[in-house]
């Protein structure tokens, strides 16, 4: 059982901000997602999570007793939860790290002083928790990137990063679900389609899920792409 210290304050006229006294972690993320669902149901309100905060939107009206509301929220947050056992789905994502699909890999390797095989080995050895989906629909922001792979965003963003590109920016890695401009370093590409607006659940990911990459060849990439288009 994990529990966290927190501070609740009013934000604007209608909302509450809950700040958690802890650094971001997989365990805190799971706790935040559990409490997000609990508070949403309890208050019939939209709740948004960040790395270590919860925003309860439009939960205050002119008739609200603020002290009573804060006490109610505090009580809900203090209910112990087994966040270690949060039901995370682990997605295994194929990635081709060939130069054909990794426009920035050679330059990136030079900047971080690692060989390309070392980068692939490190990048595929980790399970990454999904903290958020944005800035494009279905774009997963992934934490837990090995410090050896950290590199600031490009000084000059690329005008077009192809759909499926796997990239690194700062301390994070992610996957571009659509063609887009972007400032992250592209180190590979997945043939898997991540987002389909025609489906009832457009994104294959949700916050709290985990991603682990595995390396595939160019021929594997082309075969998977062909089968996806049938």
51-68 tens-digit pLDDT: 999 999 999 998 999 999
Long-range contacts of 176-180 (CB under 8 A, 24+ apart): 176/136, 176/139, 177/136, 177/137, 177/138, 177/139, 177/203, 178/136, 178/137, 178/138, 180/136
Residue 1 is assigned to a structural domain of this protein: no
> Domain of 30: which CATH number?
3.30.1360.40
Residue 121 sits in a domain of what CATH number? 2.40.100.10
Quick one: 187 and 128 in the same domain?
yes
Whether residues 27 and 51 fall in one domain: yes
**Rounded distance between C-alpha atoms, residue 8 and residue 18, angstroms:** 5
* Same-domain status, 61 and 108: no
Q: Which of 19, 52, 78 is the last residue of a domain?
A: 78
Taking only the tens place, the pLDDT of each residue in 187-215 is: 999 999 999 889 999 999 999 999 999 99
Position 84 in a domain? no
Q: Taking Cα atoms as reference points, which of 122, 228, 104, 227 lies closest to residue 176?
A: 104
In a domain? residue 83: no
Residues 32 and 97 in one domain: no
Select from 46, 78, 110 the last residue of a domain.
78
Same domain for 169 and 194, yes or no, is yes
Q: Give tens-digit pLDDT for 151-201.
A: 999 999 999 999 999 999 999 999 999 999 999 999 999 999 999 889 999
- The answer to whether 76 and 59 have CB atoms below 8 angstroms apart is no
- The pLDDT assigned to 168 comes to 98
Helices 105-112 and 116-123: angle between axes, nearest 10 degrees: 90
Residue 1 confidence (pLDDT) above 80: no
Residue 203: inside a domain: yes
Domain boundary among the residues 20, 48, 78 is at 78
> Which parts of 21-69 are beta strand (E)?
46-49, 53-57
Same domain, 178 and 101: yes
Q: Which domain holds residue 55?
A: 6-78
Say if residue 73 is in the same domain as residue 120.
Answer: no
Note whether residue 149 is domain-resident.
Answer: yes
Residue-level pLDDT at 211 = 97
User: 2 - beta bridge partners?
Assistant: 81
16-35 pLDDT, tens digit per residue, is 999 999 998 888 999 999 99
Q: Domain check: are 54 and 161 in the same one?
A: no
Q: What global pTM score does this model have?
A: 0.88
How many Cα atoms sit within 13 Å of 190 on the Cβ side? 21
Residues 121 and 17 in one domain: no
Task: Sort residue 115 into left (φ over 0), alpha (ψ -120 to 50) or beta.
Answer: beta
Query: Are residues 204 and 222 in contact, defined by beta-carbon separation less than 8 angstroms?
Result: no
At residue 173, the pLDDT reads 97
- Say which residues have a Cβ less than 8 Å from residue 228's Cβ, sequence separation at least 6: 191, 192, 193
């Amino acid at each position: 059982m994990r529990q966290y210290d927190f501070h609740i304050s009013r934000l604007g006229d209608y909302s509450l901000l809950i700040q958690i006294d802890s650094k971001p972690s997989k365990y805190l993320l799971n706790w935040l997602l559990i409490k997000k669902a609990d508070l949403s149901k309890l208050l019939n309100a939209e709740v948004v999570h960040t790395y270590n905060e919860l925003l309860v939107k439009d939960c205050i009206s002119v008739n609200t007793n603020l002290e009573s509301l804060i006490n109610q929220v505090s009580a809900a947050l203090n209910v112990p939860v087994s966040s270690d056992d949060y039901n995370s789905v682990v997605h295994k994502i194929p990635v081709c790290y060939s130069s054909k699909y990794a426009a920035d890999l050679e330059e990136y390797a030079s900047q971080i002083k690692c060989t390309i095989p070392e980068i692939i080995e490190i990048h595929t050895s980790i399970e990454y928790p999904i903290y958020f989906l944005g800035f494009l629909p279905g774009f997963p922001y992934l934490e837990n990137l090995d410090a050896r792979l950290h590199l600031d965003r490009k000084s000059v963003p690329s005008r077009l990063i192809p759909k499926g590109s796997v990239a690194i920016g700062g301390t994070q890695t992610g996957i571009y679900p659509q063609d887009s401009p972007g400032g992250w370093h592209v180190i590979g590409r997945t043939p898997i389609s991540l987002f389909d607006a025609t489906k009832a659940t457009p994104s294959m990911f949700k916050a709290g899920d985990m991603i682990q990459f595995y390396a595939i060849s160019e021929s594997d990439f082309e075969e998977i792409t062909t089968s996806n288009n049938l």
